[in-house]
Amino acid sequence: MDKLGQHISQQFDEELEDIRNRVMAMGGLVEQQLSDALRALGDIDAELAEVVITNDFKINAMEVAIDEECVQILARRQPAAGDLRLVIAVIKTITDLERIGDEAERVGRMALHFAETGGESKMLVGINHLGEHVRAMLHDALDAFARMDTDAAIHVAKQDEKADREYESILRELMTYMMEDSRAIPNVLDVMWSARALERIGDRAGNICEYVIYLVRGKDVRHVSMDQVEAHARSKHDD
């Protein structure tokens, strides 16, 4: 009987480790999609933009598969405490990763249209910088998740304010382009929607950091101030 109990426990541990690993694999694919979308926009590369658009289904399929595995774990194992938080954090994280994939696809679509309509690269200076900023946020958020590092999660979450400021600066610059030349409006709108997609990616990277704090500390830090987030992240968990 003891041997059976150990076997079941080991198998459960393997299942939990598997969903963690699959989240990281999904995160890697989303990172690649974002990198490709940014390069397609920055290089005004229509061919690469089409690859980004086409590959979005892979991310969607991974979300469905991981979500199904989590449902099976909840039904068969009825996890509690930290194990339950892990499953919940995984479900929430893959939802945000799928939506980041959607935003990357949106950037790809804007890049394709920008290339087809002859957009000028001078409009992309600010957005290239924002893109690299949120790409780094995503990478670091996933790294914090992998290491269950709340300090790293806080550091990434704080970067979202900078991303918001960059986004607002880009909008002001793009408004100037539209006022100076109304013929540029279609291309400006492509860049504007791309900037909006990138700003949302920054928000979702911040969400993943909140899930890390929830997973490690057992504290729900959504909709609270950054000072409160830091306090919760450094406090003991509830169980």
Per-residue pLDDT of the chain (239 residues; tens, 9 = 90+): 444 344 457 888 899 999 999 999 999 999 999 999 999 999 999 999 999 999 999 999 999 999 999 999 999 988 888 899 999 999 999 999 999 999 999 999 999 998 888 878 888 888 999 999 999 999 999 999 999 999 999 999 999 999 999 999 999 998 988 888 888 888 889 899 999 999 999 999 999 999 999 999 887 666 555 555 566 556 655 45
List the CATH number of the domain containing 109.
Answer: 1.20.58.220
How far apart CA 131 and CA 38 sit, in angstroms, is: 6
Q: Are 193 and 37 a contacting pair, CB within 8 Å?
A: no
Tell me if 22 is assigned to some domain. Answer: yes
Total domains in the chain come to 1
Tell me if 15 is assigned to some domain. Answer: yes
Tell me if 121 is assigned to some domain. Answer: yes
Q: Are 183 and 197 a contacting pair, CB within 8 Å?
A: no
Q: Which domain holds residue 161?
A: 2-233
Tell me if 38 is assigned to some domain. Answer: yes
Tell me if 238 is assigned to some domain. Answer: no
Tell me if 30 is assigned to some domain. Answer: yes
Tell me if 144 is assigned to some domain. Answer: yes
Structure tokens at 41: 């926009």
Supply the pTM of this predicted model. 0.88
How far apart CA 38 and CA 10 sit, in angstroms, is: 42
Tell me if 178 is assigned to some domain. Answer: yes
